[in-house]
Structure 1
Amino acid sequence: MKTPLILCAGLLACTLAHAQPAAAGDDTWSNVPSASDDRFTNPKSKLYAGPNGWHNFGEVRSEVAGKSGKRYGFKTGLNYLETPQAFTFATNSQLQLATVDFGTAKPAPGVYEVGAKANAAQKKAAVSFMDSSGGTLLGWESADKAGSVTVSQANGYLYIKARGLRLAPVGMGNKGDLKQPMVLGLEGAVAP
């Protein structure tokens, strides 16, 4: 009885000794969990998945500056929509929507400066975030020099990634503490 208990305690001690906390600067965005081996349930398969395991899927995280403490975070589908002609991250209810407009449906790999207007030739993108889940329309949009979005291509997927974008409030419901800038990050891969 004592031997298994001592063995378990020893294994636990070894595990804790070798566990290393993530460095403060590490990017902690999660991937899609592994699943069985087919293209719809195994997004980590190199044959069917874009970078970081995404398959027409992405994640959005944002926080409104100031005292409101309003945060958003959701994993969702990522698609290109003809209207509003942008790559769209939308919650299942469609009440929260983040868009990235490159001025084209097929942006070339590279770094795009985020601004008020999209222009593929000048490598400029426009980003917005809308929320109508509380019964009023809250909105934030990018202005010039709001950050950058990186587009890469792997396994036939367009991989879109941005961190720390600064968006200005534009929604009619943005009042009081919600009339503050938003810091937005997003990531995902979409099959062309």
Structure 2
Amino acid sequence: MIKVLIADDHPVFRDGVRGVFAAEADIEVVGEAANGHEAVERAAELGVDVVLMDLRMPEMDGVQAIAAIATRAPGARTLVLTTFDGESDVLPAIEAGAAGYLLKDAPTEELLRAVRAVRRGESVLAPTIAGRLMAQVRTPTGGRIVSDRELEVLRLVADGASNRTAAARLFVSEASIKTHLQHIYDKLGVRDRAAAVAEAYRRGVLR
């Protein structure tokens, strides 16, 4: 069972999201939070698996809450669910530790898939977010950043492939994929898959 916490300052929106999960046998909404501070406290208290986090909230904004949850509730994965899709919103959230980023107008099935994917340890970026990052791409300096094989891994990760799927497509072990990912993180100065994809688009490594 995937335990979900909904963090948003609009009660009507929280009710709507709760309704999305009502018929799902493997997902349970175990709590709600109306501000960032409450989201951090409830995530730690309830031992949740996934936090659905809005970015603009009172008392503590979403980015601050994401970073605090990573410390207070390290077992929880945060999926941003917001209306803001600018680079100044997306990148800070991912750098703070968000495992995924969706917009509030995402179809129900996309939200359900994202929650399950994030729980599995995968990263999720809405297609429109990836598109905006690509549109704002900057040409990297100093030559090639990643190796050809690391670039192949990055492309698969950007397409939403899990470590197992990437390993199967490249005919290598999952351990090799993990090693490539760690090298990618080190080269791009990031900590996780979602941040690696965002930074790769920003630098022009992915197009």
* Larger radius of gyration between Structure 1 and Structure 2: 1
Task: Return the TM-score normalized by structure 2.
Answer: 0.24
Higher fraction of helix: 2
Task: Return the TM-score normalized by structure 1.
Answer: 0.25
Higher fraction of strand: 1
